[in-house]
Amino acid sequence: METRATGKLIIANGKFIRNGVEEKPEHGNAEQIYVLRKHERIMEQFENGIEVKPSYDHIITASVSFTCQCGIRLYHEIDELEEEDVDYFVDTLVHCRECGQAYTFEINDDKKLVVKPSQN
Ligand SMILES: [Zn+2]
């Protein structure tokens, strides 16, 4: 009686394994040949090491909003920050899209981030 094979056939420690159970090598078994060849290709690549490129997530985004002197709401966002730090805003410029007024950020005497109209 033959039970139908389910689960992915892999090679581990030189043996065919399916669902954690060793499968005997069978002459001419197409699936085993395919898995074996794929395994050999991968092992060849590992001889010199396979290059891996990390992808970094810059998850910190900081945003502020304030009301321009013309009355519309301005929004400024800085992303890809390495840490939460208001210093990132200092000396950045925001221009109002309606009236053209520029604003810049600074740290006031109370160590608070404040925004002020800029001459630039
Ligand atoms: Zn404005």
Question: Which tens digits make up the pLDDT trace of 53-78?
Answer: 877 666 788 999 999 999 999 999 99
Task: Show the domains of the chain with their CATH numbers.
Answer: 9-47 (no CATH), 60-118 (2.20.28)
- Condensed to tens digits (0 to 9), the pLDDT of residues 28-53 reads 999 999 999 999 998 998 888 888 78
Give residue 89 CA to ligand 1 midpoint distance, Å: 19
Residue 73 Cα to ligand 1 midpoint, Å, equals: 8
Q: Rounded mean pLDDT of 89-101? A: 93
115 C-alpha to ligand 1 centroid (Å): 13
| Mean pLDDT confidence for 92-97 | 93
pLDDT for the residue 7? 87
Complete DSSP assignment for the chain? --PPP-S-EEEETTEEEETTEEE---TT-HHHHHHHHHHHHHHHHHHS-----------EEEEEEEE-TTS-EEEEEEEEESS--GGGGBT-EEE-TTT--EEEEEE-TTS-EEEEEE--
CA–centroid distance, residue 95 to ligand 1 (Å): 8
Ligand 1 centroid–CA 100 distance in Å is: 6
pTM confidence score: 0.51
